[in-house]
Structure 1
Amino acid sequence: MDWKTELMNIWELVRSWEILKETVFQKLITYYLPPTSSLLQFKDLSGLYVIVTGSTSGIGLHTAKEFAMAGAHVVMACRNVKAAKELASIWKEEAHNGRVLNIEVMELDLISFSSVRSFADQWKQREVPLHILINNAGLCNLEDGQKFTYGGIEQHIHVNHVATALLTLLLLPSLLRTPSSRIINVNSVGHHCGVVEPQYWNSKMEDKRFNCVRAYGSSKLAHIMFLKVLASKLSDQHKASIQCIAVHPGAVCTNLNGGTKQKLFFMFDADQGARSTIYCATSDSVAENLIKGFAYYSCSCKPGKLSPQAEDVDTCLEVWQKTMAILELKEDYLSEVLDS
């Protein structure tokens, strides 16, 4: 056995352990954490604008509700506007001590770039600061084979990375309106299973090579790598104070893949899954662990271990450039936003 093969075998063991620890043993490593409902219990977030994508179910629902109950101006950005309005109405009735919740619903469909641009345009017209952007909406289709969106992009990469990247970039002017803002990307320990193959983002792979689990993991890996580059570019600009955090919420029982037929013993409920997201969005201690404006957190609300691929600067830049090309954004787009 040569050294390269031996190194790969060692990496497979490390990767397997990281995934195992963050899924099967997640309740053990998070036993000491407080319940989600207590994270914002004594905080008054009045005056903060928070956008939560995919907020009609699962992690996004509980995240949006907790922020609203804490007084933040919450924007539920989602496809199912009717369901979101019904939820907002229920939460307002549940509010304690006569508190008036500030919740609004805006339509956002990540499958459509035009929907993303329309959402961003409507938000931009308000000329208000955006304090926290929580990119929670995602897709995990493990039942079908390789599928492409109308834009010709593999569905996982489209929803979990490219469309989310577009939304983030278009909302940067609002994020820059406040002295300190945060971008929270709900990610997954599954990024350890991902591979970087931008050439297959918008072209068909041989069926025998395609794997749904790997496609999902790859989209989450690209999600992280793009955010790392964005954070680095922003931190190089002294006037940019946006903190970029990717967070693994744990193995959570949600309807991300049409609903889990049977909850496995180690899985979190959706409200438990929202815990690390809320923590990363509001905790002062997170800023202490930023490296060039970026941090990756695990479901234990502590810094997590990134895939070695996500640490490769050149590969991260390749993901950035491919994303910008698909979105037809100029290479100096970021500089123009920062200079405006």
Structure 2
Amino acid sequence: MMERWGWVRTLWEMVKEIFCQKLLTYHLPPSSHLLPNNLSGLSVIVTGATSGIGLQTAWELAKAGAHVIMACRNTKAANNIVCQWKKDAHNSRILDVEVMELDLLSLSSVQQFATDWEKRAEPLHILINNAGIYLMGEPQRVSDEGLEQHIQVNHIAPALLTLLLLPSLLRAPTSRIINVNSVVHHCAVVEPKYWNSRIEEHKFSSFKAYGASKLAHLMFLKILANKLLEQRKTSIKCLAVHPGVVTTNLVPGFQKKAFWMFDPAEGARSVLFCATSDDVVCNLVKGFGYYSCNCKPARISPHVADTDSCLEVWQKTMEILKLNMNYVSHVIANIQ
């Protein structure tokens, strides 16, 4: 009976967040009005910033004066976007935007990006892990590293990026990690043993793989927050956010907007809020929080409350990345 009620709650969360998102957010102002007047002096990395939510997020942060790093696979497209932004902003503040190459389907690309950034020895104030994939209806695909592509792009690669950028995040007086998540995590189950092994074709579901990758990234982020707290490092805040169902190129079938869907500007609101608002700090639990598209704390999957399951995700992730289980404490010791 309890299990049945659990599924009812899960179904309600998904229906409410997806089909009622317009009602839940009618009171919110435009995304640009959610930002402080001046973000100069802050460095922000936004992954997947050439389209959709990432593009809108990077644009709004740049207009507010932040130093924005567009971390993208398609650097040519990103540079064209930056040139257009600077033309459009010729009568206003000078935009501080740069482009750096990052391909989440290549862990060596992630390592190179982090190496290039860390050479600057500068503080990083906000990391927005926005890039993601959903190969809807497609068969299982495996990356060059032998990982199922959803789990690599949506979890393993951004987890590696986050860990490698911890020294830079710790240099800032306060910093935030923002993981763009999905309400689909509510109906997912994480099975780490399948991350780097093929399963029978008829048993693979791209929807399940996508949901599992988002759930895994949530569970990993919670453990990271816990480990930072154990080391008495409270300067880094770990947040995940469901931006709503948005018309982006993540899913080709969703490029045509339905009446209940968000456009990228609407989808970026909750991401920008979590990245910059002082209010979110008050609602964190042990340095971790999950926000909905209405810029308010939201219910999270019960799996995230299972510490043992979260630790299993952490351990499997570190095993794949060939990193020491005590990586966080080692980073903190070396930066002091």
TM-score, normalised via structure 2 length: 0.97
Structure 1 distance, partners of 2:236, 2:206, is 33
Deviation at 1:143, TM superposition (A): 2.4
Of 5, 10, 14, the residue aligned with 1:10 is: 5
Q: Deviations over 1:7-33 (max 9, x none)?
A: 222111110110000000100111111
SS at match of 2:202: coil
1:185 to 2:179 alignment: yes
SS at match of 1:22: helix
Segments of structure 2 that go 5 or more residues without pairing to the other structure are none
Q: Which residue of 1 aligns with 2:278?
A: 284
Q: Which residue of 2 aligns with 1:19?
A: 14
Q: Which residue of 2 aligns with 1:304?
A: 298
**What percent identity do the matched residue pairs reach?**
60
Deviation at 1:209, TM superposition (A): 2.5
Deviation at 1:258, TM superposition (A): 3.6
Following TM superposition, where does structure 1 have runs of at least 4 consecutive aligned residues deviating by more than 6 angstroms? none
Q: Contact 1:80–1:107 (CA<8 Å) still a contact in 2?
A: yes
Deviation at 1:206, TM superposition (A): 2.6
1:251 to 2:245 alignment: yes
Instruction: Name whichever of 147-156 and 232-241 sits farther off.
Output: 232-241
Of 63, 70, 79, the residue aligned with 2:57 is: 63
Which residue identity lines up with residue 317 of structure 1 in the other structure?
L
Q: Contact 1:235–1:241 (CA<8 Å) still a contact in 2?
A: no
Of 102, 112, 116, the residue aligned with 2:110 is: 116
Which residue identity lines up with residue 77 of structure 1 in the other structure?
A
> Equivalences for 1:205-284 in 2 at 5 Å?
205-258=199-252, 260-284=254-278
Deviation at 1:95, TM superposition (A): 1.8
SS at match of 2:254: coil
Of 102, 126, 129, the residue aligned with 2:123 is: 129
Q: Which residue of 1 aligns with 2:43?
A: 49
Which residue identity lines up with residue 221 of structure 2 in the other structure?
L
Q: Contact 2:231–2:329 (CA<8 Å) still a contact in 1?
A: no
Deviation at 1:208, TM superposition (A): 3.0
Deviation at 1:140, TM superposition (A): 0.6
Q: Contact 1:60–1:274 (CA<8 Å) still a contact in 2?
A: yes
Deviation at 1:239, TM superposition (A): 3.6
Structure 1 distance, partners of 2:28, 2:90, is 25
Structure 1 distance, partners of 2:273, 2:253, is 25
Structure 1 distance, partners of 2:62, 2:81, is 12
Q: Which residue of 1 aligns with 2:328?
A: 334
Of 172, 176, 179, the residue aligned with 2:166 is: 172
Deviation at 1:96, TM superposition (A): 6.1
Q: Contact 2:249–2:255 (CA<8 Å) still a contact in 1?
A: no
Q: Contact 1:176–1:240 (CA<8 Å) still a contact in 2?
A: no
Which residue identity lines up with residue 131 of structure 1 in the other structure?
H
Which residue identity lines up with residue 260 of structure 1 in the other structure?
F
Structure 2 distance, partners of 1:215, 1:38, is 36
Q: Contact 2:247–2:255 (CA<8 Å) still a contact in 1?
A: no
Deviation at 1:240, TM superposition (A): 4.3
Structure 2 distance, partners of 1:8, 1:141, is 30
Q: Deviations over 1:95-138 (max 9, x none)?
A: 26441110000000000000000000000000100000000000
CA distance 1:261–1:296, shift in 2 (3 Å): closer
Q: Contact 2:137–2:205 (CA<8 Å) still a contact in 1?
A: no
Deviation at 1:333, TM superposition (A): 1.3
1:194 to 2:206 alignment: no
User: For this pair of structures, how many residues does the alignment match?
Assistant: 334
> Equivalences for 1:24-103 in 2 at 5 Å?
24-40=19-35, 43-95=37-89, 97-103=91-97
Deviation at 1:147, TM superposition (A): 1.3
Instruction: Name whichever of 260-269 and 291-300 sits farther off.
Output: 260-269
RMSD of aligned C-alpha atoms? Answer: 1.1
Structure 2 distance, partners of 1:54, 1:243, is 21
TM-score, normalised via structure 1 length: 0.96
Q: Which residue of 2 aligns with 1:3?
A: none
Q: Deviations over 1:269-300 (max 9, x none)?
A: 01110000000000001000111110000001
Q: Deviations over 1:228-272 (max 9, x none)?
A: 000010012224410000000000110012462532221100111
